[in-house]
Amino acid sequence: MGVYGERVLPHIVDLTCGMASNARHRQRVCAGLTGEVVEIGFGSGHNVPHYPAAVTSVDAIEPAGTGWRLAGKRLAASPVRVRRAGLDGQVLPFADDSFDSALSTWTLCTIPDPAAALRELRRVLRPGGQLHFVEHGLAPDADVQRWQHRFEPVQKRLFGGCHLTREVLPMLRAAGFDVVESEAFYEPKAPRFLAAETIGVAVSP
């Protein structure tokens, strides 16, 4: 990871992901998490204040040390034990069947090989374990998709490999998850090509 990725981008991610408008999605996506949780692409910990009381611990996976440091205040205020357990969601340092729940918020867009990350989540989730997700991806409308394809090379350069055209539900299903809840929506007040979101829950059978 270069200087931009390690020192600059985590501050930009902290500001953009920390926008107040995201808080209601974080509250919703974290509801129902239980027990031992693995969170991939932890960033600067904006989900931490939303972990429900049923969460006993969180193992955070985040490559950017600056992101982890920016999470400091949120971590200090949290009753949940959170540890930085790894650097790469594509290769999780855990035994099979280690976790009750998993969390991914606006991360599958950025991980270089999201299929590998989802395979790993399935491996480390106990049978019946739930992955809670909110992700942006390919829009349902063709005119928006055209803008997403045009802008994606710029987005990838500016935001550390962030893609605009990944298909969230097909990726989950291809990894063997059962999607048991999902809702697609455009985040209001943002250009639609940046704001095609899917929130939901997928179960590892």
Ligand X SMILES: C[S@@+](CC[C@H](N)C(=O)[O-])C[C@H]1O[C@@H](n2cnc3c(N)ncnc32)[C@H](O)[C@@H]1O
Residue with Cβ nearer ligand X (62 or 197)? 62
CB of 42 to ligand X, least distance (A): 6
Distance between CA atoms of residues 156 and 154, nearest Å: 5
CB of 85 to ligand X, least distance (A): 11
Residue with Cβ nearer ligand X (40 or 146)? 40
Inter-residue contact 10 to 70 (CB < 8 Å): yes
Distance between CA atoms of residues 178 and 173, nearest Å: 6
Residue with Cβ nearer ligand X (7 or 146)? 7
CB of 153 to ligand X, least distance (A): 17
Task: Summarize as ranges the residues that interact with ligand X (CB under 6 A).
Answer: 13, 17, 40-41, 43, 46, 61-64, 67, 88-90, 105-107, 110-111
Residue with Cβ nearer ligand X (11 or 192)? 11
Inter-residue contact 51 to 32 (CB < 8 Å): no
CB of 1 to ligand X, least distance (A): 8
CA angle 32/46/147 to nearest 5° reads: 95
Distance between CA atoms of residues 135 and 165, nearest Å: 11
Sorted by sequence, the CB contacts under 8 Å of residue 172 that are 6+ apart come out as: 118, 131, 133, 179, 202
Inter-residue contact 43 to 14 (CB < 8 Å): yes
- Residue 68 is given by DSSP the state H
CB of 22 to ligand X, least distance (A): 7
Residue with Cβ nearer ligand X (32 or 205)? 32
CB of 124 to ligand X, least distance (A): 14
Residue with Cβ nearer ligand X (12 or 205)? 12
Distance between CA atoms of residues 105 and 196, nearest Å: 14
Residue nearest to ligand X (CB): 43
